[in-house]
């Protein structure tokens, strides 16, 4: 079940918290107090959700088709959900890859018409800054942050972004060819095996 996401403008936090129904939310959108999440910055991320249909009074859950780079917030049975790939660290493409894996594992996405999430502005993480600088010309302004790579000094943001982008391309290619296996770390595997609420055996947990 996918949930639409809106992001609030920092000056209007109390108004957004007070939106108890879609009519109130509709007013906040029309007065630019909130906007659809990443509406301008990254349209592919939530485009398939079809915010127009959702905002214009849709009363019943409706299915949407997966599209490249779709990354909704969604609810899924944790025992069936493919794990996040542990090779993605810090920021970038981890959720896109996970959602693609979910879609190619014969799950469908259904939008809930009566629920939504609110994203509050926050400071960028270090990983997000490196990813953004590496993706844009901002890396040129950070030349003091360099690492040696194959005999040359390379801006750290460029190295960070190139690594994440290469992982994403490889993961996507492997999915389409049926070879993809997300990497999991030993701590996650231990929790999956031991915690009864995550598919583990309660008897085994008690013995541990």
> Could you give the angle at which helices 156-176 and 94-103 cross, rounded to 10 degrees?
0
The residue ranking higher by pLDDT, 135 or 90, is 90
CA 192 to chain centre: 22
Neighbouring-strand partners of residue 6 = 36, 118
How many angstroms separate the CA atoms of 118 and 28, rounded? 12
Q: What is the pLDDT of residue 18?
A: 63
User: Residue 56: its pLDDT value, please?
Assistant: 86
Euclidean distance between CA atoms 158 and 184, whole angstroms: 26
7-33: pLDDT as tens digits = 655 555 555 666 778 888 888 888 888
pTM of the predicted structure, to 2 decimals: 0.81
The Cα 162–Cα 134 span in angstroms is 8
Q: Rounded to an integer, what distance in angstroms lies between the CA atom of residue 38 and that of residue 191?
A: 33
pLDDT tens-digit readout, 95-143 = 999 999 999 999 999 999 988 888 877 788 888 888 887 766 554 555 5
Closest CA to 30 of 13, 6, 1, 59: 6
Q: How far apart are CA 34 and CA 31, in angstroms?
A: 8
């Amino acid at each position: 079940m996918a949930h639409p996401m809106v992001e609030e403008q920092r000056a209007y936090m109390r108004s957004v918290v007070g939106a108890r129904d879609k009519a109130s939310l509709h007013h906040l959108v029309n007065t630019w107090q909130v906007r659809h999440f990443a509406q301008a910055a990254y349209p592919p991320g939530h485009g398939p959700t079809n915010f127009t249909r959702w905002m214009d009074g849709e009363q019943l859950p409706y299915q949407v088709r997966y599209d490249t780079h779709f990354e909704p917030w969604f609810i899924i049975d944790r025992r069936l959900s493919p794990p996040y790939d542990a090779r993605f660290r810090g920021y970038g493409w981890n959720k896109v890859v996970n959602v693609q894996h979910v879609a190619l594992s014969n799950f469908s996405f259904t939008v809930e018409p009566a629920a939504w999430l609110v994203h509050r502005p926050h400071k960028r993480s270090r990983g997000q800054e490196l990813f953004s600088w590496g993706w844009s010309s901002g890396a040129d302004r950070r030349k003091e942050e360099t690492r040696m790579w194959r005999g040359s000094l390379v801006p750290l943001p460029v190295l960070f972004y190139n690594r994440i982008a290469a992982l994403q391309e490889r993961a996507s290619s492997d999915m389409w060819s049926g070879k993809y296996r997300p990497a999991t770390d030993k701590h996650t595997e231990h929790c999956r095996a031991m915690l009864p609420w995550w598919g583990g055996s309660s008897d085994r947990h008690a013995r541990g």
